[in-house]
Amino acid sequence: MSVLDSLQPLYSLTGFAVGLLVGLTGVGGGSLMTPLLILLFGIHPATAVGTDLLYAAATKTAGSAVHTFNRSIDWRVVRRLAAGSVPMTVVTIIALGHLGIASSAVRDLITVVLTVALLVTAAALVLRKTIVAHYATRLNALPPKQISILTIAVGAVLGVLVSITSVGAGAIGVTALILLYPKLPTARIVGSDIAHAVPLTLAAGIGHWFLGSINLEVLFSLLAGSVPGILIGSYAAPRIPETALRLMLAGTLVVVATKLALDIRSVPSSGASVTAITAH
């Protein structure tokens, strides 16, 4: 069976919708894709996370290439984040494997942490300016060595969050970088966050691959829809008020998080197959 024959229209449509939001707002990929795979399609949470991680790695690679071309990446910041995130990603994947990736314990862990991560992401979207106004000045007064250590610590937290839920590398990462590096232009903050997301999501995605929690047919279908969605969203973004988009996305995340919290016990322990589906 060819890749084209295995494409599933509903997944591609979902990929298009999420890609459109990512293009419009710059965030929302993992925050929406993983819960949609769980709630709409009944995919096991571990498979949803693993598949979304490789999906994110592919899309973030394209975004990173654009930012590299535009020279809007601070590689010093990327290295510091990766120094914390990649080791913690390895540790988290090993822990998930030890618990049993298809177990009810991992299913519940992913659902609970995902719910919390979505609420934190929504708060970061809505309250970013308030948070920065209160804390940026204090953090900016810290010596460079402490800023470096805090950046590595942020990377470590993102490594755990992203490995468990695929959420955190967008709005949470950008907010943390704005606090730690208030003098960096916004474009370089966003570019550095996207560049860091590539090794983070790739390492976590490969880890989930070895655990068997990747569905390649779903992955290819999502990518088929998301690429045109991101292009259209990126083109339309300057024509739509950013504040309205962020509030809309934040509201959506709160609704999704509430639904996940209510349904935590209703997701079957087996869900969809966790076994990786290889391309034929």
Q: Are 191 and 70 in contact (CB under 8 A)?
A: yes
203 has pLDDT over 80: yes
**pLDDT digit string (tens) for 68-99?**
887 889 999 999 999 999 999 999 999 999 99
pLDDT of 263: 67
Question: Which residues are 215's β-sheet partners?
Answer: 277
**193 contact partners, CB below 8 Å, separation of at least 6:** 169, 170, 173, 174, 177
Helices (H), 181-275: 186-211, 216-236, 242-263
Q: Are 164 and 110 in contact (CB under 8 A)?
A: yes
**pLDDT digit string (tens) for 158-187?**
999 999 998 877 778 888 898 899 888 877
Q: What is the pTM of this model?
A: 0.82
